[in-house]
Structure 1
Amino acid sequence: MKRSLRRALWAGAVVAVTVAAVPVTTAFGAGTVTTTFTKAQDWGTGHETRVTVTNGSSATVTTWRIEFDLPSGTTISSAWDADVTSSGNHYVAVKKSWAGGLAPGASFSWGYNGSGAYKAPLNCTINGAACGGGTTPPTTTPPTTTPPTTTPPTTPPPTTPPPTTPPPNTGGKKVVGYFAEWGVYARNYHVKNIQTSGSAAKLTHILYAFGNTTGGRCSIGDSYADYEKAYTAADSVDGVADTWDQPLRGSFNQLRKLKQLNPHLKVIWSFGGWTWSGGFTQAAQNPAAFAESCYNLVEDPRWSDVFDGIDVDWEYPNACGLSCDTSGPNAFKNVISALRSKFGSNALVTAAITADGSNGGKIDATDYAGAIGNLNWLMPMTYDYFGAFNAQGPTAPHSPLTSYTGIPQQGFNSDAAIQKLKSKGVPASKLLLGIGFYGRGWTGVTQAAPGGSATGAAPGTYEAGIEDYKVLKNTCPATGTIAGTAYAKCGSNWWSYDTPSTINGKMTYANNQGLGGAFFWELSGDTSNGELIGAIKGGLG
């Protein structure tokens, strides 16, 4: 796949007010096993709560069970990373089957979205021991195991989702960027460029795109680029040339070297994409076999240390992309569940999904909320809404943050997608905002403002109708903004794209919404000194 091909992504704009997290200790029991409830968000009509179980004992805790009541007017509407049942206002949360034992000193977080304003739970017990329901630990609790009144350092900050292994980065926000395997050819963009541009230090995660899914199995996308291509000393991350008898070469070996220079960096292997999503339909018929094949490939001994997990880029479950899928609304959830079961609780399992926020659109076709408990995060692809795939126009920004008067399709904007996913029960902290490091453009345009007619796609370096930011910033500088993104008319060509300034605004939105961070397609579109990724990291704080 080339993400420069159209990705049919695709709501209203209700903005939730993010409230600073207020930890409320409500459960101490089972010796030194502790539980804290943290208000992550409260927007009046609803709230998001994070619950952390900490094992302060010297033995592994193999299971845990939390029981509590919620005050009148507060109910749980959805939960993730724990199995939650209820009877009236009484709730029981137990450990997920995929979550391993809790080692001494370790913590595990799960969470829920609730209706009504946040209220601290009552009558809480963990593994049968009374919690007391207070906001301070009992005096009998050993000081070394008492959770602090702020977020424990072993758990992710309140603005991030509750993954088993949270990545270390400033503020807990994720900065995730795609590396396209084919970029090593015509684009001459290599893993070394991630280091020399300064981008490696700003990234938390790299998504390596793409592995294939043909036949409902994970398979290599391009063996030469992936692990066969020999790098010279000049092109290698660490200045050391590959040898002819080296067991691993190519981008995989370069990523290994990049991680050695940047120990904080995680790499996730992404499968599917526009071209290779057809294989997911067969994968959905036997998710366990698909997961087995993926695990065997990602954990191949030759490169198992390179990858920290798997990403699913299925375009689109129970809907149409390059081909149409009719596997039903539960197919995606079932595939993700199988992957989590096979990869275990410590691996990262993520997904890039549609950003179609229209009524009855692609988000509505699949139970994304049902899968969120087995995912570390979701990435709605909030770009490619509009472009010269509609050759006659009207001209429109391909990545609008919000709706605007005259938008060609309602629900085709970033905020619409975010709000729809949140309304379905996906926690904000498990959503990343998508940014395109490229523009989309038309030619034959006479009107400078959006909404003009066109005759076709504007010329592009690699493909008509699309161009990298690093090119457009010089050849067609932005002259206006609309709906939180930029546009420009140069001669008869009209382009829309994000700039450092508009990205800063989008990151403000992400922070205000309590999102887990941002991701982008893809690294080679940025300048040689990483202007755009710098704006993402700087904006997230």
Structure 2
Amino acid sequence: MISAVLTALLLPIAAVVGLAAPAQAATVTATFTKTQDWGTGFGGSWTVRNTGTTAITGWTLEWDFPAGTTVGSFWDAAITRSGDHYTARNLSWNGSLAPGASTTFGFNGTGSGSPSNCRINGAACDGSTPTDAPPSAPGTPVAGDVTNTSVRLSWTAATDDRGVKNYDVLRGGTRIATVTGTSYTNTGLTAGTTYSYTVVARDTADQTGPASAPVSVRTTGGDDGGGTPGDYVKLGYFTNWGVYGRNYHVKNLVTSGTAEKITHINYAFGNVQNGRCTIGDSYADYERAYTADLSVDGVADTWDQPLRGNFNQLRKLKEMYPDIKILWSFGGWTWSGGFTQAAANPEAFAESCYQLVEDPRWADVFDGIDLDWEYPNACGLTCDTSGPAAFRTLVQEVRERFGAGNLVTAAITADASDGGKIDAADYGGAAQYLDWYNVMTYDYFGAWAAQGPTAPHSPLTSYSGIPQAGFNSADAIAKLRAKGVPADKLLLGIGFYGRGWTGVTQSAPGGTATGAAPGTYEAGIEDYKVLKNSCPATGTVAGTAYAHCGTQWWSYDTPSTIASKMAWAKAQGLGGAFYWEFSGDTANGELATAVSNGLG
């Protein structure tokens, strides 16, 4: 996806990286030029030139970027990525170059690094005699199995033209081990202490490449143990439509034991219409009269009481559990279209939201607002072209209107692909105005791709064969942190449901399918409380369970995988976790319990 990145504000610079000094004998050379620079990113172009005496019919250009510098949108070439190694190939119309002819392709990048180890058709880009290039940077280490005194690190392999020999593991910039595989367990650590790790690859010529991006890990235990109980946000979504077909009410939070295991509730959803916050479902929200058997406190609503519905039930819940905070969430997949108009007048939007949330009839129920815009400057059910700064401006106005005494949060994309939705908006700049982000690290893959391949909808990490690079939780969290979002302002998302296909014969991920598996409310999706019995898990991949039963294939989280994800979230220093949504859990709150126990 090519996105406009403040084009009118960009200042071109004549910064030519010294990779190309064409030699007379070379057949083809390549020169890189940084055409624009806006601090956090840049525009770049490569010029491929035939310096020989005979025509060429195609070209392949390769280079490395240092960790933290990536290619986003691109044009006039096909660009692929493996780690920090990039490969660009000609398109059908610009592969043939006569002697002396040239062609140019371009891209937008993030970060500030410059390309290195450039090769064109296997030869050095400047026409000199090819030399052995150093390896690329390994993938960002992922921490797991964190204890008081140890942590296990794993990473995706680096690439090298002659093969990677081993990896140096660095802690705080000092090498602590050299290993041949892509994992290492560091022992002898101090409880309750934060450590920073990077990894460097070494090739068979003993050349070392650039370091991976760092990962910060805090061991458990110690005086604060990386967060005393109650420090972590444990948030669940309560949907207003759940009171209908699902027959799920606020009282279920009490009877399941879930209310004792959460710190926050997001009430979903309020609508966004004509750039304003509006009521989503007045009957469910504040009109429905509750009978005694469905009421939180066993007391029926009367015909003349000023507030009924979910809002009154949430008020009763807060009386029983006064530490629970409740936010009103606006937008969501269906109701995000109004955010485009809101971005055109963010002050009016903020005022409308404040007046609605602080309506005297229910002001005591809510402790703040959550904005679920799917997606700023990108496409969801509808497409937005408000520009990368629109989201930051909007949340700034909402924060100013709601003030420091209210919570202001946002649910955001977890698309960490190059040039994907995280790159489309200024989530780093907006973070200063928000208490936290609910990073929607689920729904990466599903039966909207009716023929497959089957894949976990909420992978924690990448894995061999994943259908789309950057579609996993670890990459999303790493990208947001690289953009300047503090780790403790990021919550890991968990789905209390599974996504599935039918017509599948292969048990392992990656199989073909014929369509969406049947679901209770919608094809291709089913609650955990159903799947745990109808299609029990048969394996795990990338930290998520999957199940093959008959011709159906499902992926979903279980108490076991949630425990592992919570350990990972703590190791990353995240602020906690959230889940969509309460009604998918069992009657005794198995998954909510796993989140709570995992965070401590």
What's the TM-score, normalizing by structure 2?
Answer: 0.64
Q: Indicate how the Cα distance of structure 1 residues 255 and 294 shifts in structure 2: closer, same or farther if over 3 A, else same.
A: same
Q: Deviations over 1:141-185 (max 9, x none)?
A: xxxxxxxxx99xxxxx8967xxxxxxxx82401100000100000
* Correspondence 1:273-312 to 2 at 5 A: 273-312=332-371
In structure 1, distance between residues paired with 2:193 and 2:538: 39
Query: What is residue 450 of structure 1 aligned with on the other side?
Result: 509
Give the deviation of 1:203 after TM superposition. 0.5
* Correspondence 1:155-304 to 2 at 5 A: 170-304=229-363
Give the deviation of 1:15 after TM superposition. 3.5
CA contact (8 A) 1:19 1:41 kept: no
Q: Deviations over 1:101-125 (max 9, x none)?
A: xxxxxxxxxxxxxx999xxxxxxxx
Code of the residue aligned with 1:43 in structure 2: it is S
Report how many residues are paired: 402
Give the deviation of 1:420 after TM superposition. 0.5
Specify which of 494, 499, 511 is matched with residue 435 of structure 1: 494
Higher relative contact order (CA closer than 8 Å, sequence separation 6+): 1
CA contact (8 A) 2:447 2:524 kept: yes
In structure 1, distance between residues paired with 2:566 and 2:475: 16
Please report the RMSD computed on the Cα atoms of aligned residues, expressed in angstroms.
Answer: 2.4
Query: Equivalent residue of 1:507, what SS?
Result: helix
In structure 1, distance between residues paired with 2:286 and 2:249: 13
CA contact (8 A) 2:215 2:572 kept: no
Specify which of 522, 525, 535 is matched with residue 584 of structure 2: 525
Code of the residue aligned with 2:276 in structure 1: it is R
Q: Does 1:43 align with 2:170?
A: no
Give the deviation of 1:43 after TM superposition. 1.7
In structure 1, distance between residues paired with 2:194 and 2:380: 35
Q: Indicate how the Cα distance of structure 1 residues 462 and 325 shifts in structure 2: closer, same or farther if over 3 A, else same.
A: same
CA contact (8 A) 1:387 1:465 kept: yes
Q: Does 1:342 align with 2:468?
A: no
Query: Equivalent residue of 2:329, what SS?
Result: strand
Q: Deviations over 1:469-523 (max 9, x none)?
A: 0000000000100000000111101100000000000001001101010000000
Give the deviation of 1:460 after TM superposition. 0.2
CA contact (8 A) 1:19 1:42 kept: no
CA contact (8 A) 2:141 2:197 kept: no
Q: Deviations over 1:385-407 (max 9, x none)?
A: 00001101000000000000000
Q: Does 1:473 align with 2:514?
A: no
Query: Equivalent residue of 2:266, what SS?
Result: strand
What's the TM-score, normalizing by structure 1?
Answer: 0.71
Give the deviation of 1:534 after TM superposition. 0.4
Code of the residue aligned with 1:279 in structure 2: it is G
Query: What is residue 317 of structure 1 aligned with on the other side?
Result: 376
Show structure 1 runs of 4+ deviating over 4 A: 16-20, 39-42, 157-160
CA contact (8 A) 1:19 1:43 kept: no
Give the deviation of 1:379 after TM superposition. 1.1
In structure 1, distance between residues paired with 2:265 and 2:215: 37
In structure 1, distance between residues paired with 2:553 and 2:493: 22
Code of the residue aligned with 2:140 in structure 1: it is V
Q: Does 1:382 align with 2:459?
A: no
In structure 2, distance between residues paired with 1:40 and 1:358: 32
Counting strand residues as a fraction of each chain, which structure ranks higher?
2
Code of the residue aligned with 1:280 in structure 2: it is F
Query: What is residue 593 of structure 2 aligned with on the other side?
Result: 534
CA contact (8 A) 1:350 1:377 kept: yes
In structure 1, distance between residues paired with 2:483 and 2:292: 51
In structure 2, distance between residues paired with 1:383 and 1:443: 20
Q: Deviations over 1:80-136 (max 9, x none)?
A: xxxxxxxxxxxxxxxxxxxxxxxxxxxxxxxxxxx999xxxxxxxxxxxxxxxxxxx
Q: Indicate how the Cα distance of structure 1 residues 516 and 19 shifts in structure 2: closer, same or farther if over 3 A, else same.
A: farther
Code of the residue aligned with 1:256 in structure 2: it is R
Q: Deviations over 1:357-386 (max 9, x none)?
A: 111110000100101111000111000000
In structure 2, distance between residues paired with 1:42 and 1:341: 36
In structure 2, distance between residues paired with 1:303 and 1:386: 38
Code of the residue aligned with 2:462 in structure 1: it is S
Query: Equivalent residue of 2:294, what SS?
Result: coil
Instruction: Give 1 or 2 for the bigger CA radius of gyration.
Output: 2
Give the deviation of 1:346 after TM superposition. 1.1
Q: Indicate how the Cα distance of structure 1 residues 487 and 241 shifts in structure 2: closer, same or farther if over 3 A, else same.
A: same
* Correspondence 1:376-525 to 2 at 5 A: 376-525=435-584
Give the deviation of 1:40 after TM superposition. 8.9
CA contact (8 A) 2:289 2:309 kept: yes
Query: Equivalent residue of 1:234, what SS?
Result: helix
Q: Deviations over 1:329-354 (max 9, x none)?
A: 11110110000000000100000000
Q: Percentage identity across aligned positions?
A: 71
Query: Equivalent residue of 2:566, what SS?
Result: helix
In structure 2, distance between residues paired with 1:475 and 1:264: 36
In structure 2, distance between residues paired with 1:269 and 1:530: 23
> Any unmatched runs of 5+ in structure 2?
1-81, 84-138, 149-191, 199-213, 217-221
CA contact (8 A) 1:205 1:267 kept: yes
Q: Does 1:333 align with 2:392?
A: yes
Q: Deviations over 1:15-63 (max 9, x none)?
A: 377999xxxxxxxxxxxxxxxxxx9955267xxxxxxxxxxxxxxxxxx
Code of the residue aligned with 1:453 in structure 2: it is T
Query: Equivalent residue of 1:218, what SS?
Result: strand
